[in-house]
Structure 1
Amino acid sequence: MPLKILATADIHIGRTASKLPSHVAAEQFCCRQAWTDIVECALKHSVDVVLLAGDVVDRKNRFFEAYGPLEAGIRKLSESNIDTLAVAGNHDHDVLPRLAQQVSEQRFRLLGAHGTWESYDVERDGKVVLQIHGWSFPEAHHLISPLNSYHLTCPDNVPTLGLLHADLDVHNSKYAPVSTQELQRTDTTIWVLGHVHAPKHYEHTVGPDILYPGSPLAMDPGEPGQHGPWLIEIDGDRPLTVTPLTGSPVRYETVPIDVSGSDDLEAVEGHITNAVRERAAKLESEDPGVELVIQRLRITGHTSQCRGISQLEHKLPQDLVILGPEERLTAVIESVTNDTLPPIDLTSLADRTDLLGQLSSLILALDRPRHEDQDDLEQLMQDCLGQVERCYAASIYSSLDTDDRPAEDALRDHVKRLGIDLLETLRSQELIS
C-alpha cells in the first residue's frame, strides 16, 4: 500500500483573494478557508502526512487570526492519525515557530527552526516508512543557499523527502536561493518547495523530483490557472506518483478574444459575451471546484469599432456577469484591454508627411521591441512617465491609494491606444471633408 502525502505551501492565512466583485462574500475566498479545505482534502484521500512548505501565515500580526483555524485543523488531522510537518518561510519566520509552540498536538512538528536542518521519521505500524528533512527561515531574508549547511544522510531503503521554502535557480535572491544542481546532488526521493505561488512539478529520471505545489488558493491575477494541494504517493523508494488536486474556488485568467470582421458594436459585444460564456462552460466541466472565475479580457483583431471597444473597457467589468450552464460557476470581468487595430494599412499611411503619417509611424514604433526605440520615442515615453509621477505625487490625491501606478509597459500600451483612437478620429474627419 503506497504512502500518501498531501503537499501544499504558501497558504498565507490572513489574506483574501483580490479583485473580488462586490456581490460575492469574501469569506468564501480567503486563505483561512483554504486551510480548512486542505484538511478536508487530506481526510478524503486518507493521507499519512500533510506537508506545509512555508508561508502558512501571511505575517506576524495574523497570529490570532491563524491560531484558531490552524490548531483546529491540526487536531482534526491528528485524530485521524495524520502527521503534519511544516517549515517556516520568509513571511512567517517569526510567527510560525510561536504558533508551533502553542499547538499541543504531538503529530504536528515544525522542522528546522532557527535555520538548522532537522529530520523526522514517519512511522507506520512501528516501522519507519519515510524520513523528512526540513529547514526553516531564521529571518525574513536569507541570502545564501540552505544546502550549504545540509549534512543529513538519507537512510537505506527508506524514501527521503526534503521540505524547504526557497527560490529555485535565482542565484541573487534574498529568499534562500537554491539551484537545481544542488538539489539533484542529494539522495532524496523528492523535494517539496515553497515560495513560488505558481505550481510546477520538475520530473527527473535521475535524481530527486522537485515540486512547487504553489498556493492552494489563487490570490491575484498574477496567479492564473489551477491551484490546489498535490498528492504524492511513494511505493517503496520508487516509483513516485505526483498528482495535482483541484481546490481553489477562485481562478484568474487572461482571455484573448479576436473580433476581426465584427464591424458593428453590437456584434462585437455579442462576440465577447459568447467567448466568456464558452470559457465559463468549459471551466465548469473541467474543474468542478471552481466557483468564481475572474477574467482579464484582451480584445484583438482588425475592426472599425476600435473606439467603441474602448468604451467597453469601463462598461464590461461593471455589467457582464455570466453563469456556467449548471450555475455552479460565475464568470466576471476584472479588466478589458483593447488591442484592436482599425482595418487600415498603417505602413502605407506612415509614408505620409502630415499628422496622420506621424501618428501611424508612432503606432508602428510602439509595436516594436523597446530596444529598437529611437531617441524621440524614448523621450516621449519619459515625458509621459514624468507626467504620471507628478499626478501621483500631487497633494490633492494624497488620501488615495497610489500603489497601483501603471508600469512603463502599461503606459506604453495606453499611449498606443490613444494614438489609434486619434488616428481614427482624424481619418473620419478626412473622409467627411
Structure 2
Amino acid sequence: MRFKFVHAADLHLDTPFRGIPADSSLLSLFQQATFRAFSRVVDLCLREHVAFLLLAGDLFDAKDRSVRARLALRRELDRLHVAGIQTFIVHGNHDPLSGDTGALGLPGSVKVFGADWEEVEVRREGRALCRVQGISYPEVEVRENLSSRFRRTAPDFTVGLLHANLGGVEGHANYAPCTVEDLGARGLDYWALGHVHTRAEYALANGAVAVYPGNPQGRHVNEPGERGCVLVEVEEGRTRRRFVPVDRVRWHRLEVPLVGLGSLDGLVAAVTEQVDASCAQELDGHVVRLTLTERGPLHRELSRPEALQQLEADLREQLSRRHPPVLLESLRDASRPELDLQTVRLAGGFTGTLLAEADALAADPEALETVWKEDAELRSLRQRLSRLGVDALEKPRPEWVEQAGLRVVEQLHEEDET
C-alpha cells in the first residue's frame, strides 16, 4: 500500500532567540518564528494528505513548557485531527515527560509515547498500513541506548520514533547514544530521529534508513541555511524522501573579501550584493553575521579606532529597512593588510628572519613539542586555563606558529606606515 507521512523534530516552540537584542524592533518577528514554522509543517501535512505526522522530541524549548507554546501546539494538532491525520510524539531532553503538568489535553488522534517502549498499528480503511514504535525521555538526561528496546514485530512497514545521538555527533549532548549498527540490527524500515539539528541520512541494512530532518526553524547563527522537515512516501516497503523548508527566519554567515575594494562605498555595495544573493525574498526575515576577509587597502581604514563599530551600526540600520528585514547579528574583521609575504621573505632583515623562523618551527614537530613543554610562559598559560575550566590542547598546532609569525610581521608593517 502506498502512503505518505511527514517527519519533523526539534520544534523548540517559543525558543528565546540568541543574538537578537531585546530592544530590537524585529524581536516580535523572531518570537513568532518557531510557531510559524510549525504551522507550515502542518500545512504540508494537509496539502499532501499524509497519513500521519511524526514529531521526534524537543517540541518545547524548556522542561517548563510555556503556556503560549502549549496552546500553539494544541491549535496545530487540532487542525490535523479535523483532517483525520494522526500525530505520533516522543519527548526528548528539552521537554521530558516529567515536565508535563497535564494542564492541556491533546486531540484523540495524537499518540504520545511514554517512558516504556510501545508500538502502535496504523490502520486505513480497515487494513494495517504500518507500525510506529516510540519511547520518550522520562527525565532530561537519558544515557541508555534506547534503540535496543525497539524490535520488529510484524512484516508491516515499521517506523522507529526516537530522540537520540547517533554516532556521537558533536555539539549535542550524548543522550540515548546509539550507532548505525545498533539501528540496523533492530530490523525496522525507517528511523525517525530527533536531537541533532543538522539534516542527515544514514543508510542501514536491507534498504532501511535513519533520518534527522534537522530543526524546522534555526535558532542562532550556528544553525544557518534552510531548515525544515522531511516528506516521506512509502511504496512497496521502500521510501522516497524529500526535504521541505519551512523556516520563516533564516540565519546566514557571509564572508566579504576586501580584495579590490578601495572605498567604503564599494564595501557597502559588496555587502549589499552578498545579502541580495543569500537572503530569499519569500521569508519573514533574515539574520546575518558578516565577516570581512582577505587582504585589501580598506583593512587599514577599518583598523582605526571605532571604525568597525561605526560601519557595523550603519550597516545594521540600512539592512533593517530592507524587505524582508535583515538583522545584522555582528560585523567581524578577519581581514589582513596588503602585504607581499614573498617579498618580505626575500628581503631578509628582521621580518624576513622572523617569518623564516616561524616556518621552520612549524615544520619541525619535535622542536615545536619542546617549545610547548619547556617554555615557562606557555606552561603557565595552560595552568591558568585549566584553573578556569578551559581544556587546553595537549599538543601544539603548527598553524598557530605560522599565524603568530604572520601577525607580528603585519603589525610591524602597519607601524612602519604610521
Q: Is 2:36 the partner of 1:33?
A: yes
Alignment of 1:263-282 (within 5 A): 263-280=262-279
- Hey, what does 2:129 align to over in structure 1? 129
Give SS of 1:43's match: helix
Aligned match of 1:103 in 87, 95, 105? 105
- Hey, what does 1:402 align to over in structure 2? none
Q: Distance in 2 between matches of 1:381 and 1:314?
A: 33
Using a 3 Å threshold, how does the CA distance of structure 1 residues 261 and 45 change in structure 2: closer, same or farther?
same
Q: Distance in 2 between matches of 1:380 and 1:365?
A: 21
Which residue identity lines up with residue 92 of structure 2 in the other structure? Answer: G
- Hey, what does 1:399 align to over in structure 2? none
Using a 3 Å threshold, how does the CA distance of structure 1 residues 382 and 344 change in structure 2: closer, same or farther?
farther
Aligned match of 1:333 in 328, 337, 342? 328
Q: Is 2:412 the partner of 1:423?
A: yes
Which residue identity lines up with residue 243 of structure 2 in the other structure? Answer: P
- Hey, what does 2:298 align to over in structure 1? 305
User: What TM-score comes out, normalization by structure 2 length?
Assistant: 0.80
Q: Distance in 2 between matches of 1:71 and 1:298?
A: 41
State whether residues 145 and 176 of structure 1, in contact with CA within 8 Å, keep that contact through their aligned partners in structure 2. yes
Deviations, residues 317-361 of structure 1 (Å, cap 9, x unaligned): 42225679xx7533343223322222323466468665x568867
State whether residues 180 and 204 of structure 2, in contact with CA within 8 Å, keep that contact through their aligned partners in structure 1. no
Deviations, residues 221-247 of structure 1 (Å, cap 9, x unaligned): 111121012111112312x11111111
How many Å apart are 1:3 and its aligned residue? 1.4
Q: Structure 1: any 5+ residue segments left out of the alignment?
A: 394-404
Aligned match of 2:164 in 163, 166, 171? 166
Q: Structure 2: any 5+ residue segments left out of the alignment?
A: none
State whether residues 228 and 246 of structure 1, in contact with CA within 8 Å, keep that contact through their aligned partners in structure 2. yes
Give SS of 1:178's match: coil
Q: Distance in 2 between matches of 1:45 and 1:370?
A: 59
Using a 3 Å threshold, how does the CA distance of structure 1 residues 255 and 175 change in structure 2: closer, same or farther?
same
State whether residues 355 and 405 of structure 2, in contact with CA within 8 Å, keep that contact through their aligned partners in structure 1. no
State whether residues 259 and 303 of structure 1, in contact with CA within 8 Å, keep that contact through their aligned partners in structure 2. yes
Alignment of 1:34-433 (within 5 A): 34-95=37-98, 97-99=100-102, 102-111=104-113, 113-114=114-115, 116-150=116-150, 152-156=151-155, 158-170=156-168, 174-204=174-204, 206-238=206-238, 240-280=239-279, 283-284=280-281, 288=282, 290-310=283-303, 313-320=308-315, 328-346=323-341, 349=344, 354=350, 375=371, 419=408, 422-429=411-418
Identity of aligned pairs, percent? 24
State whether residues 291 and 332 of structure 2, in contact with CA within 8 Å, keep that contact through their aligned partners in structure 1. yes
User: What TM-score comes out, normalization by structure 1 length?
Assistant: 0.78
Q: Distance in 2 between matches of 1:89 and 1:32?
A: 19
Which residue identity lines up with residue 105 of structure 1 in the other structure? Answer: P
State whether residues 337 and 410 of structure 2, in contact with CA within 8 Å, keep that contact through their aligned partners in structure 1. no
Q: Distance in 2 between matches of 1:147 and 1:184?
A: 10
Alignment of 1:19-30 (within 5 A): 19-20=19-20, 22-29=24-31, 30=33
How many Å apart are 1:120 and its aligned residue? 0.9
Using a 3 Å threshold, how does the CA distance of structure 1 residues 340 and 370 change in structure 2: closer, same or farther?
farther
State whether residues 258 and 299 of structure 2, in contact with CA within 8 Å, keep that contact through their aligned partners in structure 1. no
Which residue identity lines up with residue 415 of structure 2 in the other structure? Answer: L
